[in-house]
Amino acid sequence: MEIPFKRPGLEDREAILKHFQARKSRGCERTFANVYLWARFYNLTWAEILDTAVFRSEFDGKYSYAYPIGRGDVKAVIEMLLEDSREKGYPFRMHAVSEAEFEELSGLFPGMFQVEYSRNDADYVYETEKLIRLSGKKYHGKKNHLNQFKAAYPDWSYEPITDGNVEECFQMALRWREFNGCEGDPEKNKEMCVALNSLRLFKELELKGGVLRVGVKNAVPGFGYQDPLTSEYSGMEIDLANLIAEHLGVDVEFTTVTAATRGELLDSGDIDCVLATFTITDERKETWDFTTPYYTDAVTVLVEDSSGITGLADLLGRTVGVSSGSTSARELVRAMVEQGLVSGDNFDPDTFDATTWTEGVSFHQYDDYPTISTALSAGEVDAFCVDRSILAIYKTEGRSYIQDAFAPQEYGIATTKGSGLSEVCEELVTTWLSDGTIDGLIAEYGL
């Protein structure tokens, strides 16, 4: 079977990104811009096979494949690539294989492959967060170069690339290429060609530099609220995000998240961190990194005064509205068990599922808080349960909190596990807790 490899074009962007997003990797070769811009220098081609993207490059006159990426059957795809290499008469080789991918490969084909470590290539592996901070011996040269640049050009400024300044950037890059003699150095010339083409096509490639992408709430005044008229965000968590971006020297881009979407957007790489009343739990810490808590709240219940509900005991036989992906339902049941209102025989916090729980109280899950509030007004649910700080906006005339507050909720900044940004956020939060910055924000927003 002839695999239809072809040179990646701009028209392939969406198709390739679909596969990259299905199976995340921190490798720079797993970005469309790099695939497109370097294709001609490495004779790179790609093909879609069994809902999987496969890339093939030529190194030193020999073909090599990247590890298949996507939702398809990796083993079946690799078997097709093995056949492809046999038909063309060259040894089967794969490059830029991560440890996790090699472990998977070894499980699929026991004893069939061996790994060869390339130290020269590894020198080019950097984490973006560490490049931002330039801390550690590995980055001394880059930090010195940056300091020399700042000294030579004291009026420098950081600006996002736009239609208005891209030509200036392009001309500067051309002067840099001439000054550094790139024409006579094939490797430098390749890099400058890629840099120039990235500027020429920055809109088509949708390149963004110097942006911290933060997941925030848009309907929780005091924490994260988006004005419906101006679309501007405000709140304590918005201010903290702006302070992080200021520390890093980058712009900030907000994405509205809910309890159900914040984790998956962080996992997919669509956002860099979450500041969205995200409660720290042991279970969540297995998946993401969290900073030291910057705020502690408690869960309670909001009801219509006409309901006659004043405490947890009055919720027996009632339906409570909660947000999908939140811990509120579990904590409410835990509190009722602790008060002896319901039996704890069937309650397991590790396996609790709000959609199936019916003992003493039942739940209806919604995608966002405004919808729960509407459901409470309409009588679809008898109560609205979440953190008290979130409920504050919905406590209007004719509504009250029950007497009970329970389950302290500690909010932290969530980041991808093991990322350099985790260290940055932890250092900043610790500093702001000690120097009064966070206390000042809490007072400013009346939290």
pLDDT of residue 28: 67
Mean pLDDT of 282-299: 94
Please state, in angstroms and rounded to a whole number, the distance separating the CA atoms of residues 423 and 269. 18
Please state, in angstroms and rounded to a whole number, the distance separating the CA atoms of residues 379 and 374. 9
Q: Are strands 361-366 and 318-323 parallel, antiparallel or unpaired?
A: parallel
Name residues whose C-beta falls within 8 Å of residue 193's C-beta, 6 or more positions apart in sequence. 41
Mean pLDDT of 203-232: 89
Neighbours of 158 (CB within 10 A): 9
Strands (E), 149-308: 211-216, 219-220, 224-226, 233-234, 251-256, 273-275, 288-290, 295-304
Mean pLDDT of 142-156: 77
Q: Is the pLDDT of residue 24 over 80?
A: no
Q: Is the pLDDT of residue 118 over 90?
A: no
Contact 273, 245 (CB under 8 A): no
Any idea what the Cα angle at residue 362 is, between residues 357 and 368, rounded to 5°?
Answer: 100
pLDDT of residue 442: 93
Q: Is the pLDDT of residue 157 over 80?
A: no
Locate 112 and state its tokens.
């069939």
pLDDT band of residue 181 (cuts 50, 70, 90) is confident
Q: The whole model's pTM is what?
A: 0.57
Locate 72 and state its tokens.
């398809």
Q: Is the pLDDT of residue 437 over 90?
A: yes
Q: What percent of the chain has pLDDT over 90?
A: 57
Higher model confidence: residue 109 or residue 138?
109
Please state, in angstroms and rounded to a whole number, the distance separating the CA atoms of residues 220 and 295. 14
pLDDT of residue 9: 95
Please tell me the least confidently modeled range out of 159-173, 260-274, 294-308, 424-438.
Answer: 159-173
Tell me the pLDDT tens digit for each residue of 323-356.
988 889 999 999 999 999 999 899 999 899 999 9
Q: Is the pLDDT of residue 76 over 90?
A: yes
Round the average pLDDT of the chain to a whole number and report it: 88
Higher model confidence: residue 161 or residue 315?
315
pLDDT band of residue 180 (cuts 50, 70, 90) is confident
Mean pLDDT of 113-121: 76
* CA of residue 335 relative to chain centroid, distance: 33
Please tell me the least confidently modeled range out of 66-75, 159-168, 341-350, 354-363.
Answer: 159-168
Contact 372, 391 (CB under 8 A): no
Bridge partners, 256 (sequence order): 216
Indicate the length of the chain as a whole number. Answer: 447
Please state, in angstroms and rounded to a whole number, the distance separating the CA atoms of residues 258 and 322. 12
Mean pLDDT of 95-121: 85
Mean pLDDT of 30-51: 92
Please tell me the least confidently modeled range out of 101-105, 131-135, 169-173, 333-337.
Answer: 131-135
pLDDT of residue 135: 65
Long-range contacts of residues 225-234, Cβ cutoff 8 Å, at least 24 apart: 226/256
At residue 199, φ and ψ (nearest 5 deg) are: -70, -45
Mean pLDDT of 48-58: 93
Dihedral sign, Cα of residue 275, residue 278, residue 284, residue 290: positive
CB-based burial, 222-247: b 16+ in 10 Å, e otherwise: bbbbbeeeeeebbbbbbbbbbbbbeb
Mean pLDDT of 228-238: 95
pLDDT of residue 305: 95
Tell me the pLDDT tens digit for each residue of 215-227.
999 988 899 999 9
Q: Is the pLDDT of residue 51 over 60?
A: yes
pLDDT of residue 419: 78
Please tell me the least confidently modeled range out of 173-177, 288-292, 399-403.
Answer: 173-177
Give whichever of 20-29, 129-138, 382-391 has the largest mean pLDDT: 382-391
